[in-house]
Amino acid sequence: MFVAYLGHLAALGTSVAWSFTSVLFTLAGRRVGSPVVNRTRLLLAILLVAVTHRLTLGSFLPLDAEPFRWGWLALSGLIGFVLGDTFLFQAFVLIGPRLSMLLMALSPVFSTLLAWVLLGETLTALELLGIALTLGGVMLVVADRQNGDSRALTVESPRQYIVGVLYGLGGALGQALGLYASRMGLVGDFPALSGNLIRLLTAALVMWLLAAARGQVRASVQAWRARPDALKFVIGGAIFGPFIGVWLSLLAVQHAPMGIASTLMSLAPVLLIPTSRALFGDRITARAILGTAVAFAGTALLFL
């Protein structure tokens, strides 16, 4: 039974890991800024994954991987870590985190459509109902979380709103396309850990080259010198995010239908409710409780 649901369990583990990551990176970003955190997390994750790769698979790098795997997984890293995250962060700026995360909840819909069109994956009526309930519950939770959008953000024009929504949709589509590219690179039971390392190497190279071209490398170093206390949060976030979380996400798309895997990976906003209450003082409302119940009911259906 465990093997049959390996992909489902890995996707749930991804949501748990990403719920920790979002808190840790929020705490770090408030100290040194999200661009610095975004670049640094990749370097730390590469170190963690490379050492684990050496201990478990005998080498620091997957040099024996076929060229087509490097191509697909590198593309996945670029789409997921670079383009997708850039779109999402820009959406945060333009329309705020609440609406941005609501749009990101559409990623499983895009994943399901991509898997149906490009991979020929079909889902049963019960699975589609489970996806609908889970996404509905997540949207209820996200729509209810008004963590300062109205106080901290003013949408100055209809154009800003439209552009922000497009960026949010771009982030959701980027996540779905990244999962599809990962799926193609992992065919034939290729180790998910190796796939994660290839994605991280590609994304880190591109992001640090862009930082160098913009003259931001020195600023990153200076930010860490000014606030070394933020490093512990980035280390924790790198462990739960690009290391454990992404590793589990690749296992999920390797062993479960893309639509189901992406849906179960979208539960982080629901799992964050008690943590956000404890650390940031967020209110737990009746809508949040209802959304949690609906999301977990949908999750249960996906395991039937």
Give the tokens for residue 158: 């209809």
Q: Taking the domains of the chain in order of start, what are their residue ranges?
A: 6-302
Convert the pLDDT of each residue in 165-186 to its tens digit: 899 899 999 999 999 999 999 9
Q: Look at residue 156 and tell me whether its pLDDT is greater than 70.
A: no
pLDDT of residue 3: 66
Convert the pLDDT of each residue in 221-260 to its tens digit: 898 888 889 899 999 999 999 999 999 999 999 999 999 9
More confident residue, 26 or 129: 129
Convert the pLDDT of each residue in 111-131 to its tens digit: 999 999 999 999 999 999 999
Q: DSSP class of residue 120?
A: -
Instruction: Report residue 1's pLDDT band, with 50, 70 and 90 as the boundaries.
Output: low
Instruction: Report residue 54's pLDDT band, with 50, 70 and 90 as the boundaries.
Output: very high
Arithmetic mean of pLDDT over the chain? 88
Would you say the C-alpha torsion 284, 241, 72, 6 has a positive or negative sign?
Answer: negative
In this structure, are residues 83 and 174 in contact, taking their beta carbons and an 8 Å threshold?
Answer: yes
In angstroms, the CA 15 to CA 252 distance is: 11
Q: How many separate helices (H) and strands (E) can be counted in the chain?
A: 17, 0
Q: What is the pTM of this model?
A: 0.88
Rg (the chain; Cα; Å): 19
Give the tokens for residue 212: 């160098």
More confident residue, 94 or 154: 94
Give the tokens for residue 56: 């478990």
* Degrees, nearest 5: CA angle 112-113-117: 120
Q: Look at residue 135 and tell me whether its pLDDT is greater than 60.
A: yes
pLDDT of residue 149: 47
DSSP output for 141-193: HHHH--SSHHHH-----HHHHHHHHHHHHHHHHHHHHHHHHHHHHTTTT--HH
Q: Look at residue 147 and tell me whether its pLDDT is greater than 50.
A: no
| Span 205-234, average pLDDT | 91
Residue type, 165: V
Torsion angle of C-alpha atoms 217, 219, 225, 227, degrees rounded to 10: -120
In angstroms, the CA 53 to CA 72 distance is: 19
Instruction: Report residue 48's pLDDT band, with 50, 70 and 90 as the boundaries.
Output: very high
| Span 158-163, average pLDDT | 84
Q: Look at residue 281 and tell me whether its pLDDT is greater than 50.
A: yes
Q: Look at residue 152 and tell me whether its pLDDT is greater than 50.
A: no
Nearest Cα to 247, choosing from 303, 203, 182, 299? 182
pLDDT of residue 155: 55
pLDDT of residue 15: 93
* Degrees, nearest 5: CA angle 167-171-174: 130
Q: Look at residue 148 and tell me whether its pLDDT is greater than 50.
A: no
In this structure, are residues 170 and 108 in contact, taking their beta carbons and an 8 Å threshold?
Answer: no
In angstroms, the CA 92 to CA 168 distance is: 8
pLDDT of residue 150: 43
